[in-house]
């Protein structure tokens, strides 16, 4: 080597050595920085890859009747799910998964995308309530798609089947539509009440989800448990319902459509509320087949309609008590006011018939109520303005919703001049002849069974306007001790004792000697009023008998018992069943017999106090 090149070579080797030492030093510094400075951060990231957080669904609270009989329970169920962090992204994987589980690929893809956007929350449920065949299918599919898992979760069970379907309602998952309608309120996949008390009492019944931290391997298989925070179950609660009385109504209605409501006159508690046809809430816990959709949701008999709070019926002669009360309070009539009934009477050039075509003769108010004389109440209505009747209905709460703690209650319809101007803008004028029909609860009058029951509760209590309610109280942590729930204060609208006495006597005579005397009970004196609400016009009785079932009159009976010291008020409506005395009054007789006689002849249980649960919890129940 040329000696003259050696210095250059040494310089080059020196630069190379310096660069090498620089790289070594840099690597040492970077390694030290990663190990010492960012150790915690990288450890956390590694644990996030290996440790997964799984939500634990909180069981909803149980629901019991006033005597501690379970109406709604929880059971363990197995669901095939995808945890949120494991949601597949490749379209071919989604399609293969859908085919394996016999799901619609497009629908599954949309659901996966919505869950991915939603962020944290419960896992996506693919198959619910797995039975043995479902578990076998899940295991086969999991072999090809290891990101799937089987979760244990509480599942609602409605023990009475159709006994109180409309009252209890059912639960379901929060979907995208609800998320959009109420942003920030719910989480996607959360189980909430969709109908009935499950919906209105959702905040009382829902618990707080827990979570567990688990170690998984590279295939997502659980290896170890890193601890968990248990879910807090929702509080169990009592309803004011009596399951036995509810069963009496269910059996009494049979195949007939209609609704009945029974109120506790002490505080407005609903002792029974039955709507027929009913439905079994258990059927709505799974995805419905088209057959089930047609059976329930597209059925012309509308089994999903809670007729007790959503059915609007012409009250027929049960409305005559309001007309009589309006006439008495306006000074238009007295208890002694007599009217001659010849079977019909002409008003404004038109004949208005009485149910008794041969006529009742001359009647005063008590007997007119007892015999349900239409002509008598035509005459009272002709002496009043429709706004007088509306004002009395408003005073005693019949124009408003009752405020029952159930969703979607409809308002009763008591016509007035202002109402018609709004409802019929093409013909806004109120005609005097329309008031005649209103006088017997026909025409534009429409009430809900619960609204009618509350009005008769006003009559029974001499002017106490109660708020019907289902929530009775929470079940205490120890045993079945009832934690009292506050009751809405009643609005007092005292009836003049002289006015009340004539109405009360008339209602008593209806059962003792009038239109409902066949439904009288020897042991219990009942007061009430029959009603027959016309659905379609007919020429005469022979023509009526030829009418199709759906064109027959609605049958009604409303009242209270016992007569001397009323404890309950009720309203019964049977659709297209004919005369109230023939169909509705016998149902009222059955509910009164059960409550005061068959129920071991005991008086009403204390409205507040200790409850006894006669059923031991099932081994598989999730508390």
- The average pLDDT across 55-79 equals 88
pLDDT at residue 502 in the model:
97
Average pLDDT over residues 442-467: 97
Task: Tell me the DSSP string of 57-89.
Answer: PPPPPPEE-TTS-EEEEEEEEEEEEE-GGG---
Torsion, Cα 88 92 93 96, to 10 degrees, reads 140
Whole-number percent of the chain with pLDDT over 90: 53
User: What mean pLDDT, rounded, does the chain reach?
Assistant: 86
**Band of pLDDT at residue 617, cut at 50, 70 and 90:** very low
Give the per-residue pLDDT at 181.
73
Rounding to the nearest 10 degrees, give the CA dihedral for residues 331, 335, 339, 341.
130
Q: What is the DSSP letter of 283?
A: G
Of the listed ranges 451-465, 470-484, 540-554, the one predicted with least confidence: 540-554
Q: What would the mean pLDDT of 89-100 be, rounded to a whole number?
A: 86
Confidence of residue 129 (pLDDT cuts 50, 70, 90): confident
- Point out the least confidently predicted range of 36-45, 142-151, 594-603: 36-45
DSSP annotation string for 508-558 = HHHHHTSTTGGG--SSS--EEEEEEE-SS--SSHHHHHTS-GGGSPEEEEE
Cα(475)–Cα(235) distance, integer angstroms: 7
Rounded distance, CA 355 to CA 286, Å?
Answer: 50
Q: Which residues fall within 8 angstroms of residue 68, CB to CB, at 6 or more apart?
A: 238, 480, 611, 612, 613, 614, 615
pLDDT confidence tier of residue 590, bands split at 50, 70 and 90? very high
Among 184-193, 502-511, 566-575, 613-622, where is mean pLDDT lowest? 613-622
Question: Would the pLDDT of 342 be above 80?
Answer: yes
pLDDT of residue 538: 57
Q: Which pLDDT tens digit goes with each residue over 374-414?
A: 999 999 999 999 999 999 999 999 999 999 999 999 999 99
Token pair, residue 385, equals 């303005």
* Residue/partner pairs of 542-551 with CB below 8 Å, 24 or more apart: 549/576, 550/576, 551/576
- β partners of residue 313: 447
Chain centroid to Cα 548, Å, comes to 32
Backbone angle region of 441, left / alpha / beta, with phi > 0 → left and psi within -120 to 50 → alpha:
left
Is residue 22 scored above 60 in pLDDT? Answer: yes
**Tokens encoding 316:** 């027929």
**CB-count burial class (<10 Å; 0-12, 13-18, 19+) for 184:** exposed
List of residues 6+ apart from 21 with CB closer than 8 A: none
pLDDT at 543 over 70: no
How far apart CA 617 and CA 619 sit, in angstroms, is 6
Using alpha carbons, select from 396, 547, 367 the residue that is nearest to residue 460. Answer: 396
Band of residue 503 on the pLDDT scale cut at 50, 70, 90: very high
More confident residue, 115 or 441: 441
What's the pTM?
Answer: 0.85
d(CA 307, CA 258) in angstroms, rounded, equals 7
Q: How confident is the model at residue 37 (pLDDT cuts 50, 70, 90)?
A: low
**Could you give the angle at the alpha carbon of 477 between the alpha carbons of 473 and 480, nearest 5°?**
60
Do 205 and 234 form a contact (C-beta atoms < 8 A)? yes
């Amino acid at each position: 080597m040329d000696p003259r090149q050696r210095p250059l070579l040494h310089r080059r080797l020196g630069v190379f050595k310096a660069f090498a030492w620089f790289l070594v030093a840099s690597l040492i510094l970077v390694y030290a920085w990663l190990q010492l400075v960012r150790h915690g951060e990288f450890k956390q990231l590694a644990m996030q890859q290996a440790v997964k957080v799984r939500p634990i669904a909180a069981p909803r609270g149980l629901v019991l009747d006033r005597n501690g009989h379970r109406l709604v329970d929880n059971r363990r169920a197995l669901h095939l799910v995808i945890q949120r962090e494991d949601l597949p992204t490749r379209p071919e994987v989604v399609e293969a998964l859908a085919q394996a589980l016999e799901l619609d690929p497009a629908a599954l893809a949309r659901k996966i995308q919505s869950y991915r956007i939603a962020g944290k929350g419960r896992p996506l449920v693919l198959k619910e309530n797995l039975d043995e065949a479902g578990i076998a299918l899940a295991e086969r599919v999991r072999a090809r798609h290891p990101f799937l898992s089987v979760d244990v979760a509480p599942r609602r069970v409605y023990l009475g089947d159709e006994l109180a379907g409309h009252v209890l309602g059912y639960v379901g998952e929060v979907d995208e539509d609800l998320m959009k309608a109420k942003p920030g309120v719910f989480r996607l996949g959360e189980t909430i009440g969709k109908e009935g008390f499950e919906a209105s009492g959702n905040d009382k019944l829902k618990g707080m989800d827990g979570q567990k931290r688990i170690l998984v391997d590279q295939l997502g298989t659980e290896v170890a448990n890193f601890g968990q925070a248990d879910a807090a179950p929702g509080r169990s609660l009592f309803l004011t319902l009596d399951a036995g009385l509810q069963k009496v109504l269910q059996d009494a209605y049979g195949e007939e459509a209609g609704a009945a409501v029974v109120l506790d006159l002490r505080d407005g508690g609903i002792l029974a509320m039955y709507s027929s046809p009913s439905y079994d809430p258990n059927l709505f816990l799974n995805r419905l087949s088209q057959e089930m959709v047609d059976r329930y949701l597209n059925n012309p008999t509308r089994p999903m309609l809670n007729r007790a709070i959503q059915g609007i019926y012409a009250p027929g002669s049960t409305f005559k008590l309001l007309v009589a009360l309006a006439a008495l309070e306006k000074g238009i009539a007295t208890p002694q006011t007599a009217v001659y009934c010849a079977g019909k009477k002409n008003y404004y050039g038109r004949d208005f018939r009485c149910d008794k075509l041969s006529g009742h003769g001359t009647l005063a108010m008590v007997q007119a109520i007892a015999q349900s004389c239409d002509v008598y109440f035509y005459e009272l209505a002709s002496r009043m303005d429709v706004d007088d009747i509306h004002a009395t209905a408003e005073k005693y709460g019949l124009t408003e919703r009752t405020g029952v703690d159930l969703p979607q209650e409809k308002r009763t319809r008591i016509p007035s001049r202002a109402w018609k101007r709004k409802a019929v803008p093409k013909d806004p004028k109120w005609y005097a002849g329309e008031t005649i029909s209103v006088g017997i609860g026909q025409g534009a009058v429409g009430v809900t069974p619960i609204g009618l029951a509350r009005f008769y509760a006003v009559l029974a209590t001499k002017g106490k306007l109660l708020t019907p309610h289902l929530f009775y109280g929470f079940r205490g942590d120890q045993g079945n001790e009832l934690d009292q729930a506050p009751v809405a204060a009643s609005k007092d609208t005292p009836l003049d004792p002289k006015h009340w006495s004539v109405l009360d006597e008339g209602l008593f005579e209806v059962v003792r000697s009038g239109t409902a005397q066949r439904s009288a009970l020897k042991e219990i004196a009942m007061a009430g009023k029959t009603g027959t609400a016309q659905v379609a016009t007919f020429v005469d009785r022979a023509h009526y008998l030829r009418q199709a079932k759906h064109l027959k009159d609605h049958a009604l009976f409303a009242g209270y018992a016992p007569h001397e010291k009323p404890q309950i008020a009720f309203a019964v409506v049977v659709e297209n069943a004919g005369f109230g005395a023939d169909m509705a009054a016998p149902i009222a007789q059955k509910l009164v017999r059960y409550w005061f006689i068959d129920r071991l002849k005991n008086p009403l249980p204390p409205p507040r106090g200790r409850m006894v649960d006669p059923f031991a919890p099932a081994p598989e129940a999730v508390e």
